[in-house]
């Protein structure tokens, strides 16, 4: 709602010089105090453009009006007016019962810049969820590096909305957030760790990718899944740390890395993943075979053909299904042999299914 209103207000401000050609400060002050709602809103917009000190107190008073639309216009106008004396009043409506008023107050505080910074940093410690979240929004728009530490502290907040706004602000601030977020990954607070994972994934930084890869073996399954999702979102930018995880010898990390490179279909991963078909852990070999079916390519086919002789029927089954997914004709002789000779019934059935897929019957 706030953004659509902002667009309409921006259009109105573009038209304002023509509409307000004969409008005076005195008329606007009169309309703001005693006009209809439409006249009050128009007056608030106009007063924000005047740069006049006389407009400040009336606009601050309008922040307390019972109508949320007028409070919205007044909050935006105070940002346009540009007076640092409006900071306390705008801070005071960060917890307004109307979310759009909060949004416009945060936007105006961001416009006021340095004079608002100290008050906003203090507001991050507020027990009021909307005030803390609004301060986070404003500081994020200001790209205020001083806010990184307090914002990272909010990643452990009990309130989801506060955590979400802290994440958004840290992402908006950018590079200064990376180091503190990486440090937060070692927090004893699980909620803080998960929130840091989300923020780092959004930032897409190389240091962030390396830190997230280290979480692929985290003891908390939700944190592991969050790290995987963040690395998937990073795409090819995360490949180098993932390649290290593939070679780590840690089964949990190897399997997670396989799933990620398979999801993003990074062809560079074919050989490192194929090497895992020789792993001691059966589940690693199974995951590698499945991933090769997503990566495709001649080397993947050759590796999967070898995997059709794996001692584990589970691995052989997923290997033949992967060959059916790739649909490469070079796999037909191997799949024919497996369909006829493999000692496991499920593997023979999977080979027949793969042959049918290659033949185009499925």
Q: Tell whether 272 and 351 lie within a shared domain.
A: yes
Sign, Cα dihedral of 65, 78, 145, 234: positive
CB count within 10 Å of CB 257 equals: 31
pLDDT of residue 361: 52
Q: Tell whether 329 and 311 lie within a shared domain.
A: yes
pLDDT of residue 3: 53
Question: Could you give the CA distance from residue 191 to residue 312 in angstroms, rounded to a whole number?
Answer: 39
Domain stop point among 238, 264, 290 = 264
Q: Tell whether 298 and 330 lie within a shared domain.
A: yes
Q: Tell whether 258 and 304 lie within a shared domain.
A: no
Residue 289: CA count within 13 A, CB half-sphere: 29
Q: Tell whether 276 and 351 lie within a shared domain.
A: yes
Q: Could you tell me if residue 229 is inside a domain?
A: yes
Domain stop point among 214, 230, 264 = 264
> Residue 280: which CATH number?
1.25.10.10
Domain range for 332: 265-362
Question: Could you give the CA distance from residue 33 to residue 150 in angstroms, rounded to a whole number?
Answer: 40
pLDDT of residue 21: 59
Q: Tell whether 275 and 345 lie within a shared domain.
A: yes
8 Å CB contact between 115 and 87: yes
Q: Tell whether 249 and 299 lie within a shared domain.
A: no
Domain stop point among 264, 283, 318 = 264
Question: Could you give the CA distance from residue 59 to residue 24 in angstroms, rounded to a whole number?
Answer: 16
Q: Tell whether 212 and 304 lie within a shared domain.
A: no
Three-point CA angle 249, 185, 269, nearest 5°: 35
Q: How far is CA 250 from CA 50, 219, 220, 281, in A?
A: 65, 13, 16, 10
Contacts of 280 (CB under 8 A, 6+ apart): none
Residue 240: CA count within 13 A, CB half-sphere: 8
Q: How many structural domains does the chain have?
A: 2
pLDDT of residue 18: 47
Q: Tell whether 257 and 270 lie within a shared domain.
A: no
Structure tokens at 327: 């649909």
Question: Could you give the CA distance from residue 144 to residue 166 in angstroms, rounded to a whole number?
Answer: 12
Q: Tell whether 187 and 271 lie within a shared domain.
A: no
8 Å CB contact between 241 and 213: yes
Structure tokens at 212: 């997230």
Phi-psi domain of 266 (left: phi exceeds 0; alpha: psi -120 through 50; beta: other) = beta
Place of tokens 């490949």: 239
CB count within 10 Å of CB 136 equals: 31
pLDDT of residue 7: 59
Q: Can you give the pLDDT of all 362 residues of the chain as single tens digits?
A: 455 555 555 555 555 554 555 788 999 999 999 999 999 999 999 999 999 999 999 999 999 999 999 999 999 999 999 999 999 999 999 999 999 999 999 999 999 999 999 999 999 999 999 999 999 999 999 999 999 999 999 999 999 999 999 999 999 999 999 999 999 988 889 899 999 999 998 887 788 888 899 888 788 888 888 899 999 888 888 889 999 999 999 998 999 999 999 998 888 999 999 999 999 999 999 999 999 999 978 899 999 999 999 999 999 999 999 999 999 899 999 999 999 999 999 999 999 999 999 888 54
Place of tokens 């810049």: 113
Structure tokens at 89: 């009043």
Q: Could you tell me if residue 310 is inside a domain?
A: yes
HEC profile of the chain: CHHHHHHHHHHHHHHHHHHCCCCCHHHHHHHHHHCCHHHHHHHHHHHHHHCCHHHHHHHHHHCCCCCHHHHHHHHHHHHHHCCHHHHHHHHHCCCCCCHHHHHHHHHHHHHHCHHHHHHHHHHCCCCCHHHHHHHHHHHHHHCCHHHHHHHHHHHHCCCHHHHHHHHHHHHHHCHHHHHHHHHHCCCCCHHHHHHHHHHHHHHCCHHHHHHHHHHHHCCCHHHHHHHHHHHHHHHHHHHHHHHHHHCCCCHHHHHHHHHHHHHHCCHHHHHHHHHHHHCCCHHHHHHHHHHHHHHCCHHHHHHHHHHCCCCCHHHHHHHHHHHHHHCCHHHHHHHHHHHHHCCCHHHHHHHHHHHHHHHCCC
């Amino acid at each position: 709602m706030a953004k659509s209103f902002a667009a309409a207000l921006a259009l109105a401000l573009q038209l304002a010089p023509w509409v307000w050609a004969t409008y005076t400060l005195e008329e606007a002050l009169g309309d703001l105090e005693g006009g209809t709602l439409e006249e009050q809103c128009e007056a608030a917009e106009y007063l924000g453009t005047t740069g006049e000190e006389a407009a400040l107190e009336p606009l601050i008073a309008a922040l307390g009006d019972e109508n949320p639309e007028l409070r919205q216009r007044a909050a935006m106008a105070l940002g346009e007016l540009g007076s640092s004396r409006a900071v306390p009043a705008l801070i005071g409506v960060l917890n307004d019962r109307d979310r759009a008023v909060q949004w416009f107050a945060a936007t105006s505080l961001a416009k006021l810049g340095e004079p608002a910074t100290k008050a906003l940093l203090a507001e991050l410690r507020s027990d009021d969820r909307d005030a803390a979240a609004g301060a986070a929004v404003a500081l994020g728009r200001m790209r205020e590096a001083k806010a990184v530490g307090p914002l990272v502290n909010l990643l452990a907040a009990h309130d989801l909305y506060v955590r979400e706004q802290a994440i958004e602000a840290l992402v908006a601030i950018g590079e200064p957030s990376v180091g503190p977020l990486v440090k937060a990954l070692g927090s004893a607070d699980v909620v803080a760790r998960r929130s840091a994972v989300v923020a780092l994934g959004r930032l897409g930084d190389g240091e962030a990718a390396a830190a997230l890869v280290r979480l692929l073996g985290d003891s908390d399954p939700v944190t592991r899944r969050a790290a995987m999702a963040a690395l998937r979102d990073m795409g090819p930018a995360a490949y180098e740390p993932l390649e290290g995880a593939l070679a780590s010898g840690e089964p949990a990390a190897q399997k997670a890395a396989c799933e990620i490179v398979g999801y993003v279909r990074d062809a560079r991963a074919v050989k490192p993943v194929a090497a895992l078909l020789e792993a001691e852990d059966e589940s690693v070999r199974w995951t590698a075979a499945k991933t090769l079916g997503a990566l495709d390519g001649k080397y993947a086919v050759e590796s999967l053909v070898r995997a059709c002789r794996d001692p584990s029927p589970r691995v052989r089954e997923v290997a033949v299904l992967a060959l059916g997914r790739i649909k490469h004709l070079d796999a037909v002789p191997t799949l024919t042999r497996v369909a006829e000779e493999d000692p496991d019934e499920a593997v023979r059935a999977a080979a027949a299914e793969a042959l049918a897929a290659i033949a185009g019957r499925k």
